[in-house]
Structure 1
Amino acid sequence: MPICCPASSTALLTVVLAGGALPPRLRLLRQFPDAAAALRAGPGAWRAAGCSPAQRARLALPDEGYLAHGLAWLADERHHLLALTDPDYPALLAQIEEPPVALFVDGDPTRLWHPAVAVVGSRSPSPGGREHAHAFATALAGDGWSIISGLATGVDAQAHEGALQVARGMTVAVVATGLDQTYPPRHAALHERIAATGAVVSEYAPGMPASQAHFPARNRIIAGLSLGTLVIEAAQRSGALITARCAAEAGREVFALPGSIRNPRARGCHRLIRQGAALVEEPAEVTAGLTALAQTLAGALRTRLDAPTEQARPAPERAPSYTDPDYQCLWKALDHDPTGMDSLIQRSGLTAAQLSAMLLVMELDGKVMAAHGRYCRKP
């Protein structure tokens, strides 16, 4: 992944710290080659984009404390900042109505391109709800799905823990604070475990504390990064229903687990089912419901990697008809026995970021099988 130079990071941080309504800042990033060019365009261009007086003031004179703090946070090699216009910005998230102008990432940004299921629900689930969240996340992570949730107590924490229980299981946490802090604080160790193997992401700059308004906004990112959202338990006024609504509005699948009619935490799920969400009882039903949407992600990755959009099925022992030499190199590095990422890097000479994206395309096209972080040619 390209490393942003300090100047470009400063410009992008300035746009993030301008705050206020999203659409004007999104227009600025889309109208100019990069954030630095948008800042150089000056107040007239900012006004034309719809920026409020307060936003224009902050674009001209950003908060020096937050700016310095953000740049210091970005100095860590595990920390990244992706602009909406960055080619590594996750394609699915870019498709929602109001994507974040930028994403702060603690961990591996390539994890945000992996096929994912959001698992969300009550902060105070029943014992059965906790078990279901953990079990579904474990099963889905074992099948190769990334599990996305919000690092909150209850269902969120159980979903993350279930994914981490799987050898090389993948999980991503989307939070409503700057990434230099954890909310709730008792999940600091869980934050660290997720960032070490997956990613923790936020649209809020380091130093930003939790705010009540941040959580509903955070939920649209959870839904936007995922091909589908599974609601385990949710009361009638649960934030999980906001995530489900965002998923439906983005054209993603929504799944709900039914519960007892005497359980008030199940009423939100029953409401979703009445509104058209898929009733599921087994993890395999979630996987089956996401097959078609997974091809959307494959298409976005082909575009990003400049791979052809159509491939003929290869004959046995022959490389698939990808014309890019890197695909040919990767195919030769793969074996019939599962091979870990470290070995593939050594055999192919490609980077982990390149391999992650290319393997996902080949997996979705049925050329490669993946299990527990190891890959092989599909028979």
Structure 2
Amino acid sequence: MSPPLERLALWLTLDAVDGIGPVTASRLLAQVGGDIAALFACDDGQLRKMGLAEAQIRQLRRPGADVERGMNWAARPDHHLISLDSPSYPTLLREIPAAPLLLYCRGSLAALALPQLAMVGTRHPTYTGKDNAARLCGELVAHGLAITSGLALGIDGVCHQQALAAGGVTLAVLGSGLDGLYPKRHQGLADQILDCGGLLISELTPDKGPLAEHFPRRNRIISGLSLGTLVVEAAEQSGSLITARYALEQGREVFAVPGAPQNAQAAGCNRLLQQGAKLVLTAADVMEELPVLASLPRPVHHSPEPSHNSELPYADLLDNVDYEATSVDTVAERSRLPVEQVLGRLVELELAGAVMAVAGGYVRTRRANHV
């Protein structure tokens, strides 16, 4: 076995010891100058003094089947297993407390070296949340950022998809092992990420399933890989706020998109803004906080000629449709018109691209922003 593979086997052995996670491993390695080989060179007495139990020492001395499985997985095409001391390990991630000992990766390792922005949000977004995610994601990709998220349903999925649609690179950090991808319905999206030069990442062994406790741990990696974290839409108890908290603890920028007070799915973002997160309306709000990217070329956007209210039918009725789902009854009440008449006018507005029918009623589109 070559020296690099021998060191990888040591990392796999340490990672497989019961009761030793990133925090304990960091403490142990600090006592031997950070050298994994030096740790294994310690005799049993030294290991006991470091706080290891007899069962843990036995596991270090007699590696189990997990080590062989990990080595075999890493030998497969397009698979990469990166240890904490590897030159390929992301510099920003190495800086965080409790950095993962190992990263299981599939795809292009070149993606790890790109400047990344984490974009996260609720699994149950409103139309406005999805619209903001898609718009901002496209703008940020055009500014040279790779988009990192968690492959979850909702905002995460929108961000991955839009990054690909904009011709960018996106990285997905999973809360399961890479061989048990979750959620299953995003298998096609994961394949697209790989096909377009992106990367799938997990600190979990490939066969691990998606347990609830995996996802908060996963969130520290999403923020740790990134220059900053942008929360697009999140409720007060959203896991996305865990990612934002990790970003703060890691000394990274935290951004949030504001939402209407009536939108419970935006309450978490509004709370972040009250606590000092940077308010984001456009990509420029993000870019001005990331000086490391100042040398990247900026795209030149040519704004289309603004439309005028007179180009839209029933512009006065449009004033009564919100950017969140607005019921037909609500529009009728606000406009003081019969429901039948409102329905007919909403259909015309939909044909003009000013509103869109969604579950629960209609929402305004960006086409109508000038009104």
TM bucket (normalised to shorter chain) is 0.7 to 0.9
What's the counterpart of residue 8 of structure 1? 7
Task: Give 1:19 shift.
Answer: 4.9
Pair 1:211–1:80, CA change in 2 (3 A): same
Deviations 1:7-60 (A, max 9, x none): 333222112222534222123445267534433434434434444555444333
SS in 2 for 1:86: coil
Alignment partners' CA distance in 1, 2:70 and 2:92? 26
Instruction: Calculate the TM-score normalised by the size of structure 2.
Output: 0.74
Letter in 2 for 1:60: R
Deviations 1:51-103 (A, max 9, x none): 45554443334441x33332221112311122212222111111112111121
- Asked whether 1:60 is paired with 2:66, we answer no
Q: Say whether the 8 Å CA contact 1:24–1:51 is kept in structure 2.
A: no
What's the counterpart of residue 16 of structure 2? 17
Alignment partners' CA distance in 1, 2:56 and 2:279? 44
Alignment partners' CA distance in 2, 1:185 and 1:42? 46
Gaps (5+ residues) in structure 2? 300-371
What's the counterpart of residue 369 of structure 2? none
Within-5 A mapping of 1:1-379:
5-20=4-19, 21-30=21-30, 31=32, 34-51=35-52, 55-64=56-65, 66-167=66-167, 169-196=168-195, 197-291=197-291, 294=292, 366=295, 369=297
Task: Give 1:177 shift.
Answer: 1.6
Alignment partners' CA distance in 2, 1:152 and 1:215? 10
Letter in 2 for 1:153: L
Task: Give 1:163 shift.
Answer: 0.7
Identity of aligned residues (%): 41
Task: Give 1:240 shift.
Answer: 0.4
SS in 2 for 1:68: helix
Task: Give 1:213 shift.
Answer: 1.0
Gaps (5+ residues) in structure 1? 295-363, 372-379
How many pairs align?
Answer: 295
Letter in 2 for 1:39: F
Pair 1:70–1:32, CA change in 2 (3 A): same
Q: Say whether the 8 Å CA contact 2:8–2:83 is kept in structure 1.
A: no
SS in 1 for 2:104: strand
Pair 1:33–1:263, CA change in 2 (3 A): closer
Pair 1:4–1:148, CA change in 2 (3 A): farther
SS in 1 for 2:260: coil
Alignment partners' CA distance in 2, 1:264 and 1:78? 42
Question: Larger Cα Rg: Structure 1 or Structure 2?
Answer: 2
Instruction: Calculate the TM-score normalised by the size of structure 1.
Output: 0.72
SS in 2 for 1:180: helix
The two structures, once aligned, show a CA RMSD in angstroms of: 2.3
Task: Give 1:369 shift.
Answer: 4.4
Alignment partners' CA distance in 2, 1:4 and 1:208? 28
Pair 1:234–1:193, CA change in 2 (3 A): same
Task: Give 1:223 shift.
Answer: 0.6
Alignment partners' CA distance in 1, 2:29 and 2:81? 14
Pair 1:11–1:262, CA change in 2 (3 A): same
Question: 150-159 or 190-199, which moves further after superposition?
Answer: 190-199
Alignment partners' CA distance in 1, 2:3 and 2:117? 29
Letter in 2 for 1:38: L
Alignment partners' CA distance in 2, 1:4 and 1:144? 37
